[in-house]
Structure 1
């Protein structure tokens, strides 16, 4: 069988990475006032954060229209796909998953002879990337769509994200990350830790006073979730990623890959954000 995997740009996977893995990306749109960009296509990580710091207007993101998903699904079927697995960021953060489902349901009936599954990852960024990479590696001709779906759902159910923000200013300005607004009581000298809960919604964790304390606490929280099956750092810039990696060395001895944190989350958390994403081992 030829199962094709589709995702959106919030997985923070570059076009080159996607091509190498055989994954199709449908991009979100990023708006800087009147300027419009396709996320992670004509606006890379470094350029986004440069513009974010310089802009007086908070950028906004928009989910892909169903037509973009329809275009991707139709093309893949014409290319010979015998099944499609479409995986998207948490429905608690965006309507992207629903847009993908609507797109499939609206396609002509003859297209529906091809098996299709959509998954709400309840995650974002490296939390999606890590499992998408695993799926691409296990996607062999003999692998069924059901096997891929079951594997993905199990991994996402065990995926956790802890993020350290450099400032609460972008949470305040954007007001779009739910429970994290509870942190706004104290705006001074705070490097808050936020997390995605099991439903994929943002929740506040703690409010350390310094970045070093926030990183040390993140490392401690990681140990409370052992055993760890997989792990990665998602960074808005190399410096903060290295700082978090150093803090994690005290509690985690394994190698930790680094990925870039893109516009979808960066818009609402700001420059200087860094996150650790991990998959807990099966109990």
Structure 2
């Protein structure tokens, strides 16, 4: 069987990485005032942060239209796909998952000739990628669509994301960070920690005064979570990524992959943000 994996650009990997893993990535759109970019296609993550810091206008992101997903699914079927597993960022953060579902359901019945499954990961960025990477390996080994879906759902249930913001400015300007609005009660110099809850919505954790204290607190929270199966960092810049990786060595001895945090979270959390995704071991 030829199962094809589909995701969106909030997985925060390069098109080259996606291609090497056999993953089809559908881009969100990033708007800087009148300028329009396809996320991770004609604007990479490094360029995004350069423009974010220089721009006087907060950028916007928009989910892919159902038509773009339809084009993708049709092409994969024409290329010989025998099944499609489409995995997307939390539906609490974007309408991308719903757009993917609508796209498939809107295809004429005679074009929906193969099995299709869509998953709301309730995650984003590295918290999506660490499982997609495993799914790519399983797919190359011949796993069935049902096996891939079951593995993904189990892993995403055990996947957590903790992020440290450098400033509250972008939360305030964006106004789209859900429960983390509670952080705005204290606009003093803090390094807020946020997470995604079980439904995939952003919620505040704590407001340490310094980045060092925030990283120490994240390490403590991870230690309290029990044995860790895998861990990865999503960083807005190399400096904060290295600092967090060093702090995490006290609670995790395995390899910690690092990738650049992209536009979807970066728009609403700002430069200097860094996040760790981790999968707790099965009990």
* Common fold: TM-score over 0.5: yes
Corresponding residue number in structure 2 for 1:35:
35
Q: Structure 1 residue 176 and structure 2 residue 176: aligned?
A: yes
The alignment partner of 1:139 has SS state of helix
Corresponding residue number in structure 1 for 2:238:
238
Check the 8 A contact 2:168/2:187 in 1, yes or no: yes
Q: Structure 1 residue 81 and structure 2 residue 81: aligned?
A: yes
Corresponding residue number in structure 2 for 1:154:
154
Check the 8 A contact 1:237/1:260 in 2, yes or no: yes
Q: How far, CA to CA, are the matches of 1:278 and 1:33 in structure 2?
A: 35
Q: By how many angstroms is 1:177 displaced?
A: 1.1
TM-score by length of 2: 0.99
Check the 8 A contact 1:183/1:192 in 2, yes or no: yes
Structure 1 runs not aligned, ≥5 long: none
Corresponding residue number in structure 2 for 1:71:
71
Q: How far, CA to CA, are the matches of 1:277 and 1:141 in structure 2?
A: 25
Corresponding residue number in structure 1 for 2:202:
202
Cα-Cα RMSD? 0.8
Corresponding residue number in structure 2 for 1:104:
104
Deviation track 1:130-152 (CA, whole Å, cap 9, x = no partner) reads 10110001103632110000000
TM-score by length of 1: 0.99
Q: How far, CA to CA, are the matches of 2:141 and 2:237 in structure 1?
A: 38
Q: How far, CA to CA, are the matches of 1:95 and 1:199 in structure 2?
A: 14
Deviation track 1:19-41 (CA, whole Å, cap 9, x = no partner) reads 10011010000000000000011
Q: How far, CA to CA, are the matches of 2:63 and 2:113 in structure 1?
A: 27
Deviation track 1:109-128 (CA, whole Å, cap 9, x = no partner) reads 11222000000000000001
Aligned length: 283
- Runs (4+) of structure 1 exceeding 4 A deviation are none
Corresponding residue number in structure 1 for 2:126:
126
Change (3 A) 1:274 1:141: closer
Corresponding residue number in structure 1 for 2:48:
48
Structure 2 runs not aligned, ≥5 long: none
